[in-house]
């Protein structure tokens, strides 16, 4: 089902994007929660966090593949239990 695959990919990317590391949006959410002095200290090293994240992502691809598999299984469970009955009611 193309719609289910599309939703699964988007949910997985949304969950991945919420990881609280500087190149991702989860860090921006974290910055709203942590104290200002901690945020300023982290911002001094933001570019190093981003560079390190990219290096780890490129070098240790299998580790991230394992994490993405876990995220895909979770997103697949959510889609199958919550949204697929709704899609089936609407489209079939």
> Distance from first CA to last CA of the chain, Å, rounded?
12
| Residue 56 CA to its chain's centroid (Å) | 16
Predicted confidence (pLDDT) at residue 41 exceeds the cutoff of 70:
yes
Q: Whole-angstrom Cα distance, residue 52 to residue 63? A: 15
Lowest mean pLDDT: which of 8-12, 23-27, 32-36, 83-87?
83-87
Structure tokens at 37: 């002095």
Contacts of 30 (CB under 8 A, 6+ apart): 20
Q: Of the candidates 55, 67, 60, 51, which has an alpha carbon nearest to the alpha carbon of residue 12?
A: 67
Averaged pLDDT of the chain: 79
């Amino acid at each position: 089902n193309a719609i289910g695959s599309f939703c699964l990919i988007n949910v997985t990317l949304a969950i991945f994007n919420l990881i609280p590391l500087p190149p991702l949006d989860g860090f921006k959410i974290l910055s709203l929660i942590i104290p200002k002095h901690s945020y300023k200290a982290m911002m001094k090293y933001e570019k190093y966090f981003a560079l390190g994240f990219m290096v780890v992502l490129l070098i240790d691809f299998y580790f991230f593949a394992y994490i993405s598999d876990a995220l895909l299984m979770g997103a697949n469970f959510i889609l199958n239990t919550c949204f697929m009955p709704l899609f089936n009611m609407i489209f079939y």
